[in-house]
Amino acid sequence: MLLVAASTHTAPAAAQVDGSVGVGAGTVRYPGGTSFGSAILSPSLRYTKEALVADLSSSIASLPGGEWAGLGQADLSAATAPSAGGRQLGVDVIFAGTTRTSAGPTGAAHAVGELRWSTATWGAGLAAGPSTGLISGALPVTALHTRARLWWRLSDGVTSPTVQLSVEPTHFPDGWFTDASAGATFERGRAVVSLWTMARLSSTYSSTAAGSASLQVFVRPRVSLEVGGGSSLSDPYQGLPRAGFITFAVRLHKAPRPLPGAAVLRWTPLVPDSRGDSLVVRFRMPDARSVAIAGDWNAWQPVRLRPLGEDVWEGTLVLRRGLYHFNLQVDGSDWVVPHGVATIPDGLGGMVAVLVVP
C-alpha cells in the first residue's frame, strides 16, 4: 500500500477549504478476464491550515446486478515549523475502507512519523510507522511500514513539472516486500497531466508492476473534465486484487481555478511602488527578526528585506512588466503568504502570492 506523499510547501496563513464532486463512468478489469462497468459519484474535500493538510475522498459505484460499492479515504498530514536548516518533523496518517452490498467491509490504517528536509523547490523525508488491515471475517493483519521519499520542482515557476520518488519497504507477517513509485505532474494552462509508475519487489510475494496516467482539463474555472487509465497494485491489507481501469468524469469545484489570462484571486495582487528604475515592496511582519522575499523571477532564492521600524520591512526589485508569484521567508525558516495579497495554488497543495508589475 503506497502512502500518499504529503505536501511540504507553503500553506496559507488562514484556513482554506477546497471541495469538488465528480460524476462519471469507468471500466475495471481483473486478472483472468473478469471486468465490469460502473457509474461513479466521487466527492472530495481538502482542508489546509498552516502545517495541517487533510484530504477526504470517496466514491460510490453502481455494479452489475444491482450491487453497490463504496470506497473512502482520509489523508492527514501535520508538521512542525521548519528549522533554519529546513528540517521538520511530520506525521502522516491514512484511513481507507471499502464496502459492498454482497460482501463485508474492509479497512486499513497507516501512520508514520517522518523527518523532513525541505526548501521552496525540493524536499526529502525518512519515515516509519505501523500499518494494519482488516478484512471482514478474518483476523486483522499488522505490518511495519518504512518510507524514503524525494520530491522536487524541475524549474522555477508555479506551473513547472513536479517529480516525486518513493521507496517503501514493509515487513509483512510472512516477509518483506518493497513498493517503489515514481510520479510527475505537469501543469500547462488549463491542463493538468499526472503520470505514475509503481513496482512491488519481493522474494516472498510475487513481484508486480503497475502504472497510471490522468488528464484534467478546466473548461471553466469551476468545471473540469477528467480522463484516466492504467493499473493498480493489489492491496494486501484489504485483500483487493490487482486491476486495470479506465475512467471518465466531469468534476465540479467549489473554488474556481485561475485560468490563463483570467486568474480568479481571493484578494488583490501586490502592485509595487516605483522608485527610479526599481520597484519597492513593503510588508508588515510583527515580531519578525528577519524577512526575505523569494519568487519565480529569481528561482525562488530568498533575498533579505531591510527593516524600517514599526514591524515594516522593505525591499527593492528590478522586474519587467508582467505577472509574478512570490512568498516571504520569516526568521530564516517559516514561509509565509502575506496577508491581504492575492494567492493561487502552487500545484503542490500550498499557495503562493501574486505580484503584478503594470
pLDDT for position 166: 95
Beta 303-304 vs 312-317: how paired, if at all?
unpaired
pLDDT at 86: 67
Residue 311 region by backbone torsions, left for phi larger than 0, else alpha for psi between -120 and 50, else beta: left
The C-alpha atoms of residue 264 and residue 352 are separated, in whole angstroms, by 13
Residues whose CB falls within 8 Å of the CB of residue 274, separated by 6 or more in sequence, listed in order? 280
* 251-292 pLDDT per residue, tens: 987 765 554 444 444 457 888 888 877 889 999 888 888 999
Q: Which residues does the chain have with pLDDT short of 50?
A: 1-14, 156-159, 259-266
Predicted pLDDT at 256: 56
Report pLDDT for 19.
82
* Model pLDDT, residue 352: 85
Pick the CATH number of 16-253 from 3.40.50.360, 3.40.50.300, 1.10.3720.10, 2.40.160.40: 2.40.160.40
Of the candidates 316, 324, 312, 306, the residue with the CA atom closest to the CA atom of residue 283:
312
In the chain, residues under CATH classification 2.40.160.40 are 16-253
Q: For 202-244, how does the pLDDT look when each residue is reduced to its tens digit (9 = 90+)?
A: 888 778 999 999 999 888 777 889 999 999 988 888 888 888 9
Q: Which part of the chain is CATH 2.60.40.10?
A: 273-357
Helix (H, G, I), strand (E, B) or coil at 82: coil
SS3 label, residue 33? coil
d(CA 62, CA 336): 44
Per-residue confidence (pLDDT) for residue 81, from 0 to 100: 67
Threshold 0.85, pTM exceeds: no
Q: Which CATH architecture has domain 273-357?
A: Sandwich (2.60)
